[in-house]
Amino acid sequence: MKKFNFKFYFILSIFINSSIIKSDISINDFDLNDVLNSGRNLMSIDNDLHYLEAKSESQNTLFIAVHGSDSQGYEWIYPLIVLDSSENLVSFFRYNDNLCPENIYLKLLKEISSAIETNNNIKKVILMGHSYGAMIVAMFPERWINDVELIVHSVAGPLTGPISSSLKSSLFSKICDYSPPKSIRDNVDFFQWRTIKELDGAFNELKYDPQIIDLEGSTVVRLPDTYNGRRLGHNWSLSWVSEQLVN
């Protein structure tokens, strides 16, 4: 009879169990005096939908932040603190930004559906996507079939598709089938928050503004040129928008 290798299976069990344990972070861990470190901690969590606070009966809105490509996370620290409230269940969707938008969208849709099914208090879902994340959330307005109200905020999003100067752009166009949204369903509100292209470090060298799409029924807001005395560029856009949403 083959001898049972207890040590091997013990190590294997630790590996398997550790691989499914999520490395979560709480919004209470965010430090406005060290947003870079807080951002790194935020982006270190597993690819999944993560609640950043404990659930409570007063929370009737599921708020989901969706980061951009190559995000370092720091741009979300202040906005998430600002947008936290007794009614909002604040969460963060971490994903592999090397995947096509459709794959990421389907994963997020599955997570949202599961969250709604397991939490009867949720009466509204708010999606806030930045940069590449804005492309992801922009796929929801024309596909949303849930009875729960949906509000989508696209912030500094290249909604026309990946910018042509991007190294990933050629690969993206070959393997990903992306097209901007063409309609908005009845129980969806869609907001396009556009930076000034010339002041946005992600778009300022382009000959066109990738944020501009013609979508009937959407609300378009062009951001100002400065914010708290600074140039309002790509990452600062999140902080400015978050303050508008709570005022």
At 4 the pLDDT is 41
At 8 the pLDDT is 39
Listed residue (226, 239, 157, 225) closest to 192, CA to CA: 157
9-59 pLDDT tens trace: 333 333 333 333 344 789 999 999 999 999 999 999 999 999 999 999 899
Judge contact between 158 and 135, C-beta under 8 A.
Answer: yes
Tokens found for residue 22: 């999520």
The mean pLDDT of 221-245, rounded to a whole number, is: 97
Judge contact between 150 and 170, C-beta under 8 A.
Answer: no
The mean pLDDT of 1-10, rounded to a whole number, is: 41
229-238 pLDDT tens trace: 999 999 999 9
164-182 pLDDT tens trace: 555 455 556 556 878 899 9
At 98 the pLDDT is 87
pLDDT higher than threshold 70 for residue 145: yes
Q: What would be the CATH architecture of the domain defined by 24-246?
A: 3-Layer(aba) Sandwich (3.40)
At 168 the pLDDT is 53
Quick count: other Cβ atoms within 10 Å of Cβ 36? 12
Q: What percent of the chain has pLDDT over 90?
A: 76
Tokens found for residue 5: 């290798």
At 177 the pLDDT is 79
The mean pLDDT of 179-199, rounded to a whole number, is: 95
User: Can you give the pTM of this predicted structure?
Assistant: 0.87
The mean pLDDT of 172-199, rounded to a whole number, is: 89
84-140 pLDDT tens trace: 999 999 999 999 998 999 999 999 999 999 999 999 899 999 999 999 999 999 999
- Domain limits, the chain: 24-246
At 2 the pLDDT is 42
152-163 pLDDT tens trace: 999 999 998 866
Quick count: other Cβ atoms within 10 Å of Cβ 98? 11
Any idea what the Cα angle at residue 130 is, between residues 127 and 136, rounded to 5°?
60
3-state secondary structure the chain: CCCCCHHHHHHHHHHHHHHCCCCCCCHHHCCCCCHHHHHHHHHCCCCEEEECCCCCCCCCEEEEEECCCCCCCHHHHHHHHHHCCCCEEEEEEECCCCCCHHHHHHHHHHHHHHHHHHCCCCCEEEEEEECHHHHHHCCCCCCCCCCCEEEEEEECCCCCCCCCCCHHHHHHHHHCCCCCCCCCCCCEEEEEEECCHHHCCCCCCCCCCCCCCCCCCCEEEECCCEECCEECCCCHHHHHHHHHHHC
Tokens found for residue 20: 């499914």
Task: Count the alpha carbons within 13 Å of 162 in the hemisphere toward its beta carbon.
Answer: 21
Rounded to a whole number, what is the distance in angstroms from the first to the last CA of the chain?
73
Number of residues that this document lists for the chain: 247
Judge contact between 161 and 97, C-beta under 8 A.
Answer: no
The contacts of residue 187 (CB under 8 Å, 6+ apart) are: 144, 147, 148, 149, 150
* More confident position, 2 or 210: 210
pLDDT higher than threshold 80 for residue 3: no
The mean pLDDT of 64-70, rounded to a whole number, is: 96
At 22 the pLDDT is 42
